[in-house]
Structure 1
Amino acid sequence: MPFLTVADVLRLPVIAAGLPRVAAGEHQLSRTVRWVHVTELLDPASFLEGGELVLTTGMPHPADPTQLRGYVDQLADVGVAGLVVELGRRYQHAPQELVTACRERDLPLIVLARGVRFIEVTQTVHALILDAQGELLRRAQQVRELFTSLTLRGADPEEFVQAAADLTGCPVVLENLIHHAVICRTAGPPEGQVLEAWPRRSRTAPTPDRAAASGPEGWLVAPVEDRGRRWGRLIMLPHVSGPPIGPEQTMILEQAATALTLARLTGRPEWDRRAHSSVLLDLLHWRYRSRTEARLRAEALGLPTTGHRLVPVVIDHADTADADTTVTGHLAAELPISGVKALVGDLSEHRTGLLLALARASAWQPVVERVGRDLRGTFGEGLVVAVGPGVTELSQVTRSFREAEQIADAIGPGTGDRPFHVASDIGLPELLYSLRDDVRVQRYVEQQLGRLVQHDARHGSDLLSTLREYLVAAGNKSIAAKHVGLSRQAFYQRLRTIERLLGNDLESGAHRTQLHVAVTALDVLGGAGGTVRPASL
């Protein structure tokens, strides 16, 4: 029994002997009893602080219903846990005016049919309360040590939130100032849809100065700060069928919020980006158990999904460690200013993911073009912006993101001046570039061109360039000879040498196609004009 409630007190033998009957406030018996106060005063509110279980024989109660209602109002306003009236001295039964007043204020009213010794009640209950307080202090020390350990080893914010959820057994959400659910953790299987309509529900719960119940759903809310300024808050949602929030849960959430505040001082404070990255990676690999879960998680971060076109974008970029900001940080700062709804996060060290949510009737190309030109102007032309096909269902984003990644893999850095690329931009060079690490492509290049490249290296010749021009000219010898600046006779001689080295008939269209693929692959592999390394090596 970590904390006594009104219901717990009623089950104690010292109270049960009085045959207690609940006359009002039946649904408030889970209130925590902080203390027991015996009083026969008509105006006891000045001696109370809230949470007390008030014991009385009713001797001072006025006969005037208005004054009796005022007595109940005093108790309710100060926040007492309940009112216990012993029958026999003043009342033979609880007056209807008292019952009605307690019902209107939802104040538990317990009537004792038999007399009990109030001194025994206070001694018994106070002893239990003191034991519970001692247990709370011991528990607080354990919780403090746990969060201190997490802080000292630089734990991620997800670990703090998960620890709070595990310790309380309730869902816990970390959100920022604009009511985006940055992290959500539950202890065990989630109960219901925790994040359903999250921003709207969250705005109904004000933020107290310290951990306290707030809002119509009875959330426990604790502020999280960043260098003396409010950053967001930590929220614990009580289980619908479980007990109300008690002192232990409040203590745990306070400790967790303090640890998160310290973590923002000592660690990497980019929690919003981490949350975006986590959702994007979960979408990319579809780690969600259902479409509903994916929708709620995305919407809790402010991304509208219903009635919008979702456009996945992948940006490959070089190391920006020396820049004032990263590509991800730049996009996270600039997109909200332009009014674009999007998730922005790191997919890997040199790859940024972007999921745009645009109105279905609007064109996505102008938005992506602005993004691409802005990035190229800020970070140079060595990055690639690849766009997957727009979709209308969040479950389709995975496939579209995969296609954007394939486009990014196929488009080499610094290729052209286009602000973005789509699937139709992938030709033979781009396809071979995406397969550049495939040993089968390397072996094919070696088999087709190895002898020719080795001959050039041994003799200082340039037969590979001659072959390349001949293939580009689609087998037109006159045009190719003009491009390389050779006479037709000299050019023909080189072609015969190439045919002899490769054992191919250059007049054959099939052979020319094979060689064209090999030369293109060699170029994208970075071996143009150089030596092809055999695949076996």
Structure 2
Amino acid sequence: MIEGKRPRRLAEDVRGSIGRRRSRGSEDTVTEQEEHDPLPSVGEVLELPELAAGRPELVAGERGLDRSVRWAHVLADSAAAALLDGGELILMTGTGWRRDPEEVEAVSEALVAAGIAAVVLELGAGFTRAPEALLRSCERAGVPLVVLHRAVRFVQITQRVHQRILAAQNETLAARAEVHAMLTELGLNRSPVDYVVERLAQTLGAPVVLEDPAHQVVAWSGAGSGADPAEVLAPWARADGRELTLPEGWVRVPVEAQGSRWGQLTALPGAPHAAGRRTVLELGAFALALGRLADAGGEQWLRLTSKRLFDVLLSGRYRGDTELATQLAASGLPVEDRILVGATLRGTGDFGAHGTLERAILETALRRAVAPEGRVLLAVDEAGGDPERAEPGRPILLALLSFPEGDPRIDPAADDAVAPPLATRLAKELEMLVPSTTPAAWRAHLSLGVPGRRMRALVTSLELVRSAGRLPAAAETGRVTVQQAARQPLAYLVRGLSSSPEVQEFASDALGPLIAHDREHQGDLLRVLEAYTAHPTNRSLAAQRARLSRSVFYQRLALIEDLLGVDLADGATIATLAVALLARRSGP
């Protein structure tokens, strides 16, 4: 016979077992079944004073003290075991049992096989000690077997247990109603996706991640828990569009409706929730699905990913390059062993149609230009890195580009006047996308930063092209004009200094006579000087770029020398005037 435990130790045993279970849950990855169960456990029921009055003794099945009690049932007849559904706390005296050992063993096996939560046997009229067959069956199945050494009123026990069960269920229903009301309100308010995810994370007290079908992170929130983004998003960063492997216990639910699956919600382990963690996620997924149905093209999801990352990058809200690289990789921009570059893209000239169409064409063309080996993240520069030069209603697109090592599209062209391969590819895509009604003068202006292999180089590259704004193109191909930080270092340097009053005063002093002449005579001396400083050693090419005959071009140069009192053959003079022209062009 299994040795019984002393009655006075039962409460301590129960609390100790529950404590060990909770301790394990805090140290190890919890499973979904352990996250929350509104029903009381066997251990909790055994602590009720109505049971304690019977001097209970746990004699078998200690490992099952955390089983959930679905109902309490008084079993008077051994034949009633066949009517059990599972999860019941069985209360009995054994008075209706036959004493045949084989019959007792059959009933014991039938009770355990029914999936009961526990057995409470009152000693006295039926049995003076727990039957051996019942002890063996309960110990083998991990079903707690408790004997009572004093008579108790079973009706009081069942009443108290049922009160606990109903109270727990009412708490669950109330919690679910509260979460449902909150998410319904968010849906009616058309709250953005990232805010819905944030509220879910706050509700669960744990990080929540929303991903698209390609396992790219659309939005995530740490709920103010201080969770390390690099650790939270590491599984998605490793996936890179392939199979996603998550640690055990991370709860996942699909975001789907009308037969379409748009992604999944994942919650990391956290504190139990009265409504059930999976239920909260499912309600959140339903709210997101409703929003996704209203956004047929999925534009909000697509742009939210990029907006979040650009906000993190440009505001410096990351703790290190590793964290930023993880967030970028989790959102579909691989950075390890890749060539990285920041860029801006905008339309110039009259497009002849609504700005939203222009933006859509620019985004689509750039995505196609970098595919399939390259990756790109795009967002609108809402903060306006170049506000004084941005045209109202015409957004500037920010881009983070990632290419594999040796990709020819990112390699510089041999001739500085030739557009880089990426621009050529972009021009071909635009040729297929731009409507035939678009005016011939319209151009897409691409600004490329300096390529690099480290996260800091990518951040610097984007910040550089964003602050420089639109500068004169270094090359042109099709409908694409290109400026490149690598080819125009002086222009970028001057652009960075052009906002200071000293630099603008220098430009006005150096070019004042030409500015006054052009204003008074509607002249073109500034344009001629720009062409000359761009090609000081080839006056024939400079004249061609100024769209003047050589003889007229030479006359203009002579007039410039007279007005400024300089020699345009002098190198220092050429450098001074070139800087002045750049400063004037870049100034406010």
Q: TM-score, normalised to structure 2's length?
A: 0.68
Change (3 A) 1:219 1:458: closer
Q: Which moved more, 1:253-262 or 1:456-465?
A: 456-465
Contact preservation (8 Å) 1:87, 1:94:
no
Contact preservation (8 Å) 1:174, 1:181:
yes
What does residue 162 of structure 1 align with? 198
Q: How far has the Cα of 1:155 moved from its partner?
A: 0.7
Q: How far has the Cα of 1:261 moved from its partner?
A: 1.3
What does residue 354 of structure 1 align with? 400
Pair 1:287 & 2:338 matched:
no
Q: In the aligned structure 2, how far is the partner of 1:433 from the partner of 1:405?
A: 11
The one-letter code sitting in structure 2 at the alignment partner of 1:382 is A
The one-letter code sitting in structure 1 at the alignment partner of 2:453 is V
Question: Equivalent residues in 2 for 1:350-499 (5 A)?
Answer: 350-356=396-402, 358=404, 362-366=405-409, 372-379=423-430, 381-392=443-454, 394=455, 397-403=458-464, 405=466, 409=469, 411-412=471-472, 415-417=475-477, 422-429=484-491, 431-432=493-494, 440-459=502-521, 464=526, 474=536, 485-486=550-551, 491=555, 495=558, 498=560
Q: Which moved more, 1:316-325 or 1:194-203?
A: 194-203
Q: How far has the Cα of 1:35 moved from its partner?
A: 2.8
Q: In the aligned structure 2, how far is the partner of 1:387 from the partner of 1:479?
A: 28
Q: In the aligned structure 2, how far is the partner of 1:391 from the partner of 1:351?
A: 22
What does residue 345 of structure 2 align with? 316
Q: In the aligned structure 2, how far is the partner of 1:177 from the partner of 1:185?
A: 19
Q: In the aligned structure 1, how far is the partner of 2:55 from the partner of 2:365?
A: 70
| Aligned Cα root-mean-square deviation (Å) | 4.6
Q: In the aligned structure 2, how far is the partner of 1:487 from the partner of 1:221?
A: 74
Q: Which moved more, 1:253-262 or 1:228-237?
A: 228-237
Q: Give the gaps of 5 or more residues in structure 1.
A: 206-215, 526-532
Change (3 A) 1:32 1:159: farther
Contact preservation (8 Å) 2:365, 2:430:
no
Q: In the aligned structure 2, how far is the partner of 1:278 from the partner of 1:84?
A: 55
What does residue 148 of structure 1 align with? 184
Q: In the aligned structure 2, how far is the partner of 1:68 from the partner of 1:517?
A: 99
Contact preservation (8 Å) 2:497, 2:503:
yes
2:263 equivalent among 232, 242, 245: 232
Q: In the aligned structure 2, how far is the partner of 1:254 from the partner of 1:45?
A: 36
Contact preservation (8 Å) 1:317, 1:384:
yes
3-state secondary structure, aligned to 2:377: strand
Change (3 A) 1:347 1:112: farther
Q: How far has the Cα of 1:295 moved from its partner?
A: 4.6
Change (3 A) 1:339 1:53: farther
Q: How far has the Cα of 1:247 moved from its partner?
A: 4.0
Contact preservation (8 Å) 1:469, 1:484:
no
Contact preservation (8 Å) 1:280, 1:347:
no
What does residue 138 of structure 1 align with? 174
3-state secondary structure, aligned to 2:280: helix
Contact preservation (8 Å) 2:473, 2:482:
no
Q: In the aligned structure 1, how far is the partner of 2:457 from the partner of 2:489?
A: 25
What does residue 377 of structure 2 align with? 344
Q: How far has the Cα of 1:224 moved from its partner?
A: 1.4
Q: Which moved more, 1:116-125 or 1:465-474?
A: 465-474
Q: In the aligned structure 1, how far is the partner of 2:362 from the partner of 2:535?
A: 41
Deviations 1:94-121 (A, max 9, x none): 567656655665x451413334333212
Q: How far has the Cα of 1:456 moved from its partner?
A: 3.9
What does residue 304 of structure 2 align with? 274
What does residue 259 of structure 1 align with? 287
2:360 equivalent among 320, 325, 335: 325
1:194 equivalent among 232, 235, 242: 232
The one-letter code sitting in structure 2 at the alignment partner of 1:278 is R
Q: How far has the Cα of 1:304 moved from its partner?
A: 4.8
Q: In the aligned structure 2, how far is the partner of 1:277 from the partner of 1:498?
A: 49
Deviations 1:185-229 (A, max 9, x none): 233324673344357799568xxxxxxxxxx83343333114441
Q: In the aligned structure 2, how far is the partner of 1:75 from the partner of 1:280?
A: 58
The one-letter code sitting in structure 2 at the alignment partner of 1:402 is E
Q: Which moved more, 1:221-230 or 1:498-507?
A: 498-507
Change (3 A) 1:229 1:56: farther
Q: Which moved more, 1:189-198 or 1:461-470?
A: 461-470
What does residue 29 of structure 2 align with? none
Q: How far has the Cα of 1:351 moved from its partner?
A: 1.7
Q: In the aligned structure 2, how far is the partner of 1:281 from the partner of 1:41?
A: 69
Change (3 A) 1:25 1:254: farther
3-state secondary structure, aligned to 1:398: helix
Q: In the aligned structure 1, how far is the partner of 2:464 from the partner of 2:456?
A: 14
Change (3 A) 1:370 1:24: farther
The one-letter code sitting in structure 1 at the alignment partner of 2:356 is A
The one-letter code sitting in structure 2 at the alignment partner of 1:197 is P
The one-letter code sitting in structure 2 at the alignment partner of 1:84 is V
Q: In the aligned structure 2, how far is the partner of 1:279 from the partner of 1:442?
A: 35
Q: In the aligned structure 2, how far is the partner of 1:470 from the partner of 1:298?
A: 44
Q: Give the gaps of 5 or more residues in structure 2.
A: 1-36, 348-353, 382-394, 412-419, 432-442
Deviations 1:382-429 (A, max 9, x none): 13151433325x4664334434546x7365468423897654311545
Contact preservation (8 Å) 1:382, 1:413:
no
Change (3 A) 1:132 1:357: farther
Contact preservation (8 Å) 2:339, 2:402:
yes
Change (3 A) 1:430 1:148: same
Q: How far has the Cα of 1:474 moved from its partner?
A: 4.9
Change (3 A) 1:409 1:10: same
What does residue 251 of structure 2 align with? 220
Change (3 A) 1:365 1:452: same
Change (3 A) 1:57 1:123: same
3-state secondary structure, aligned to 1:232: strand
Q: How far has the Cα of 1:51 moved from its partner?
A: 4.6
3-state secondary structure, aligned to 2:506: helix
The one-letter code sitting in structure 2 at the alignment partner of 1:425 is R
The one-letter code sitting in structure 1 at the alignment partner of 2:195 is E
Identity within the alignment, %: 30
Contact preservation (8 Å) 1:277, 1:346:
yes
Change (3 A) 1:238 1:184: same
